[in-house]
Amino acid sequence: MIQAMKKLTFLVTEKEYAPFIEQLRQLGVVHVVELQSGATSPELQEALDLDERYKATLKAMSYAAAAYEKAKKAGDAEAVAFAATVPSQGDSCADGKSAADVAATGLSVVERIEHLAEDESATRHAIDDVDKAIVQLEPFGDFSWDAIRALEADTHSRIDFFRCSAKGFRQQWADEFFAIPVAEENKKTYFITFTHGDTAPSISAEHLYLPQHSLSYYNKEKVDRQQRLHEIHQQQLHLALEERGTVEAAKLVNDDRISLARVQLSHEDVADGVVRLMEGWVKTENAEAVTASLDAAGIFYEITDPAATDKVPIEIKNDSYSSLFEPILKMYSLPNYRDLDPTVFFAPFFMLFFGLCMGDAGYGLLIFAISLYLLRSKPDLKAYAKLGCWLGATTMVVGLLTGSFFGIDLSQQDWAFLAPVKHLFINEKNYKPFGYAPMMVFSVLIGLVQVLLGMTLAGAKAVKNGGWKYGVGKFSWVAALLSATLLFFLPACGVALPQFLQYVFYAIIGVAALGIMFYNNPDKNIFVNFGGGVWSVYGMATGLLGDLLSYIRLFALGLTGGVLGGVFNQLATDLTSSLPWFVRWLPMLLILLFGHGINFGLCMISSFVHPMRLTFVEFFKNADFEGGGKAFVPFRRKSA
């Protein structure tokens, strides 16, 4: 449900401005409108830049803590020992400190993390350089450059290092330049030459310019650098485990700076800057408290209901069940103030559509079990885990009704406990309405129900925004389609309608036709309405059929998932049929895990994507849902 709002307009003098802003922040229930869209200031830019630094620091802390937890779970002795050295941190690290002190302490932690990150980067680059030096020197072994230079002096010759392919080495080089092969690695020959004079021999081999220290020097350097890297990681981990609360508290203080800087840019100067004009929104339930506070402070304000052209911020509030589906709505858009909140209306349909697309009780049991585990072990994922429980339970119900369990067609099994219920499974063997698969017919019917509900909501929206007469044309379509469906569908299902009831349905269709053709737009004359009615009939005749056929995907996806699951079951049994039982179970299990893993993943994707598509396209279109709403964000202090 969209929360009712009131519009506030303020006129504040320069002297009143600072205390007024603080008063709004203390109230914490007023959404301030940015009248200077896109405006910025040095204070705002500085706070935004600092916010990015806080985010990067928290991300680095999370990475360090996650690596530590992973090592500890793996039984790493050093990680386990390290746990005993880290003191536990309380939740109120900012208690008793001013906002400035919290910000200063948090910033110092950020600077330490940034310095460690720079040190880590430099150390990693140094290790890379050392590794390259070691790779160059290893073929020639651990020699001393002092010994090389002494040898050059004693022999009055020049020593050079070369590399060529193993087949490319020439005996001629040994004769002319005393070339001596030192090692062969990866089909490469490494060798040295001795020549008189200052010029290296001109041969068809790669002349190597080796690092100016020994192999043992670089090996020691690598050990030292790795030790330094380890120390950096230890310091990062200490900060991540001990100072995260400090950084989070400082980030909240900075968030206050950002919101304050934005509010300070959310006014227009009037009367040559003597008075500042500001606008805001407050929920109707809080309006009385806000106006009482403003009256006490002597602030000039005006409070009004939203106008049709106002861009009202949106806050939606639903029951505990419907609120689970709000993230799905927000993936599309928040409703605008003239819309109806569709969450409570599409929630049960989305849940059913998910179950129909997944269509397997075994997969539903798996989703339910995983969601239940997350619900108990991951408090941060509580809402998503609850949604998963609902979706898993619905999938189990659909799978049991259709007789599918991990790709096993229960209606085809000769299991004694299934004998009493086999005739109840909803499949083509037991039911075939109008000669079609029962789930296909059900998918179209449930689509019709959702489309009619959408049209009803469109009529309710028209009545809400313009009055009852603007809803006549839309409700007329609902009445006509519903009456026609009952009039022709019930007899096709074997339900005999009394003659009187048939006349009633015909009468409703006739009256609805008048509303469709002659009262679809109350602001126009009868001729324009008739033209609009003809166009509306054409649009309904072509669009409704396409909308309903879209819902067949629910049946098709459920059928596909079941068939693929059955195929993998068949592969697991057929490919291992010749193996003895004590060997057969392992490849059979691997095939089942691999096959059902792929099938489960594909079913999960399709079971989210296609219900969202039906909701966002067919339902929202027929419900005349516009969206485009901006979230209601009250100006308040975030830090303690």
Q: What does 356-396 look like in DSSP terms, one character per residue? A: HHH--HHHHHHHHHHHHHHHHH-GGGHHHHHHHHHHHHHHH
pLDDT in tens, 476-520: 989 999 998 888 888 887 788 888 888 998 999 899 888 888 888
Let me know if residue 195 belongs to a domain.
Answer: yes
Q: Is residue 174 part of a domain?
A: yes
Quick one: pLDDT at residue 413? 82
pLDDT computed for residue 73 by the predictor: 75
DSSP 290-350: HHHHHHHHT-EEEEEPPPTT----B-B---TTGGGGHHHHHHH-B--TTS---HHHHHHHH
- 187 lies in which domain range? 143-213
Residue 158 lies in a domain: yes
pLDDT at 65: 86
Tens digit of each residue's pLDDT (9 = 90 or more) over 541-558 = 888 888 888 999 999 999
In 3-state terms, the chain is what percent helix, strand and coil (to 5)?
65, 10, 25
Residues 6+ apart with CB under 8 A from 430: 411, 422, 423, 424
Per the rule left: phi > 0, alpha: psi between -120 and 50, beta: everything else, 340 is beta
Low-confidence ranges of the chain (pLDDT < 70): 36-39, 74-96, 271-273, 639-640
Q: Which has the closest alpha carbon to 57: 104, 107, 100?
A: 107
Q: Does 186 reside within a domain?
A: yes
pLDDT of amino acid 92: 46
pLDDT computed for residue 88 by the predictor:
52
Domain count, the chain: 1
Interior CA angle at 342 toward 340 and 346, to 5°? 160
Does residue 163 belong to any structural domain of this protein? yes
Contact 342, 349 (CB under 8 A): no
CA distance 409 to 396: 14
| Residue 149 within a domain | yes
In a domain, 164, yes or no: yes
Burial class (CB in 10 A: 0-12, 13-18, 19+), 4: middle
What CA–CA distances, in Å, run from 423 to 419, 426, 431? Answer: 8, 8, 9
pTM of the model: 0.77
> What pLDDT score was predicted for residue 135?
93
* Separation of first and last alpha carbons in the chain: 31
- Is 192 contained in some domain? yes
